[in-house]
């Protein structure tokens, strides 16, 4: 939602480091479909986080940079493993998101070399350092829980997932960002939802997608969310368990693990941040997808609700 602009007011205290795993060390742990969470440093991102914190939880005493207010924008990891597209390089990480790119934003263009406002694929190797340049921004990843993935795709050939995802990519990539104020506002404020359909019909924006709507739509189309989920009501914090809507009312279950913060080389000093060697147990957890071809985990029947993994450190 608030991932289009990253530049914000510089903090009074000079920030020399950010806590998190060095991206160069953690990149190998990122897998297709993993959720990427962004905290923007601009006014719009701050306002989105404020609204999430204010409307979705009762944690008003805490700052809005934690809990439901920790993130303002989301995307998902994509690789050639699940997307059949000649423009992708094998082994390279990309982020699929509905956002602003190129000269309109952070200078990182999409894979077509274009500046665009909407659903697009960009190199994550380029997006991360550009977004992380601002001392006020943060980036984290949440791995799709293995039990959730296996309940749908665990026993099926990977080619089926690749074919399905490729069709979804062709369907949604290039769709315009949903800048309809009522659509955006109604995702957080239920009182605005009754008028949403009418306004979208009049403006012709029904098929436009904002960031969390895109991710929720794709997760639903892949069977990771039930049909009861309403993607238009999903905001970034909902993926982490802060959804104020019940699942019976279109809310989403938690299908990803706890956020893991990652930082670019600029903010990593090699001393105060954890290394992969010190966190091998986290990376090898059976609760996150480490390979799409794994069949070692037992198949779990699909459920309407998945609890957040409490064992993750």
Secondary structure letter of residue 141 according to DSSP: E
pLDDT in tens, 245-297: 888 777 899 999 999 999 999 888 664 455 444 444 333 344 455 444 433 33
Quote the pLDDT of residue 245: 84
61 vs 208, which has greater pLDDT? 208
CATH topology assigned to domain 21-266 = endopeptidase fold (from Nostoc punctiforme) (3.90.1720)
| Residue 301 φ/ψ, nearest 5 degrees | -65, 145
Q: Evaluate if pTM is beyond 0.85.
A: no
Query: Is residue 3 pLDDT above 70, yes or no?
Result: no
pLDDT in tens, 64-84: 445 666 898 999 999 999 999
pLDDT in tens, 16-46: 678 899 999 999 999 999 999 999 766 456 5
Quote the pLDDT of residue 309: 42
Which residues neighbour 32 within 8 Å (Cβ) at sequence distance 6 or greater?
Answer: 77, 78, 79, 81, 82, 83, 165, 292
Query: Is residue 11 pLDDT above 60, yes or no?
Result: no
For 215-234, what is the mean pLDDT? 96
Domain coordinates in residue numbering, the chain: 21-266
Check: CB of residue 243 under 8 Å from CB of residue 56: yes
Report how far residue 44's alpha carbon sits from residue 1's, in angstroms, rounded to the nearest whole number.
Answer: 9
Query: Is residue 226 pLDDT above 80, yes or no?
Result: yes
Give the total residue count for the chain: 313
């Amino acid at each position: 939602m608030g991932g289009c602009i990253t530049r914000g007011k510089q903090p009074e205290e000079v920030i020399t480091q950010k806590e998190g795993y060095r991206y160069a060390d953690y990149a190998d742990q990122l897998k297709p479909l993993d959720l990427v969470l962004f905290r923007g440093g601009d006014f719009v991102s701050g306002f989105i986080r404020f609204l999430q914190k204010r409307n979705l939880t009762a944690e008003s005493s805490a700052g809005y940079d934690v809990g439901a207010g920790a993130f303002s924008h989301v995307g998902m990891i994509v690789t050639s493993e699940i997307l059949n597209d000649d423009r992708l390089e094998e082994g390279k990480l990309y982020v699929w998101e509905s956002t602003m790119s190129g000269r309109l934003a952070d200078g990182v263009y999409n894979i077509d070399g274009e500046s665009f406002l909407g659903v697009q694929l960009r190199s994550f190797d380029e997006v991360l350092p550009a977004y992380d340049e601002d001392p006020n921004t943060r980036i984290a990843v949440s791995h799709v829980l293995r039990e959730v993935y296996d309940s749908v795709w665990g026993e099926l050939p990977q080619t089926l997932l690749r074919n399905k995802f490729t069709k979804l990519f062709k369907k949604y990539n290039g769709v315009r960002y949903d800048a309809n104020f009522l659509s955006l506002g109604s995702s957080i404020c239920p009182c605005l939802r009754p008028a949403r359909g009418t306004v979208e019909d009049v403006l012709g924006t029904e098929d436009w997608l904002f960031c969390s709507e895109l991710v929720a739509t794709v997760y639903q189309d892949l069977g990771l969310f039930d049909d009861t989920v309403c993607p238009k009501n999903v905001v970034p914090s909902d993926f982490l368990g802060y959804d104020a809507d019940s699942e019976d009312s279109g809310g989403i279950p938690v299908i990803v693990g706890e956020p893991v913060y990652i930082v670019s080389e600029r903010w990593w000093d090699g001393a105060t941040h954890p290394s992969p060697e010190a966190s091998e147990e986290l990376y090898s957890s059976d609760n996150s997808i480490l390979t799409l071809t794994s069949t070692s985990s037992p198949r779990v029947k699909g459920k309407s609700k998945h609890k957040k993994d409490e064992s993750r450190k």
